[in-house]
Amino acid sequence: MLQLFFLAILAWNNSIRAKRKELSPTAWAIYTVVAYFSCFVIGTMVVVFGFCRKAVDFNLLSSPDEKVREEASKMLVNVILSNPLHSATLVAFGFGGYVLVRYMIDSKPEKKLPVHWMDKMGE
């Protein structure tokens, strides 16, 4: 629940930044949410295959018995949630998605204001 609130704040920040550049704030908020979840999934893969390799037998996840697969998946979830470093890694990867979209917004050129002919009179 807290992560969704965090994600809403990040999407709102990017929508404000996009509005200043005269881009569609709704579209860039959606891009932020998609990038956050995409990077969160990548972070989940890093945590599972990097940090949890020794704690969980991955062969059990492909077992033909449904109860064995269910127990193995519960064990994997417990391993991820029991260590705060794993959760922090997932949030950091999600935040990286926000930073990526923020960089994309910042790299867009500023809209030039129209120059009125009267502004050039003193030059």
pLDDT digits (tens, 9 = 90+) for 70-123: 888 888 888 888 989 999 999 999 999 999 999 999 999 877 766 776 666 666
Two tokens at 17? 């930044």
By the 8 A CB rule, do 86 and 53 touch?
Answer: no
Question: Does 88 reside within a domain?
Answer: yes
Residue 106: what pLDDT? 94
Helix (H/G/I), strand (E/B), else coil: 109: coil
Is residue 121 situated within a structural domain? no
Q: How far apart are CA 11 and CA 93, in angstroms?
A: 15
What is the rounded average pLDDT for all residues in the chain?
88
The domain tally of the chain equals 1
Q: What is the mean pLDDT of residues 20-44?
A: 95
Q: Is residue 1 part of a domain?
A: no
Q: How many other C-beta atoms lie within 10 A of the C-beta of residue 42? A: 15
Range of the domain at 48: 10-107
Q: Is the pTM of this model over 0.75?
A: yes
Q: What is the pLDDT of residue 121?
A: 67
CA 120 to CA 42: how far, in whole Å?
53
* 54, 101 contact by CB (below 8 A): no
Q: Is residue 51 part of a domain?
A: yes
More confident residue, 49 or 100: 100
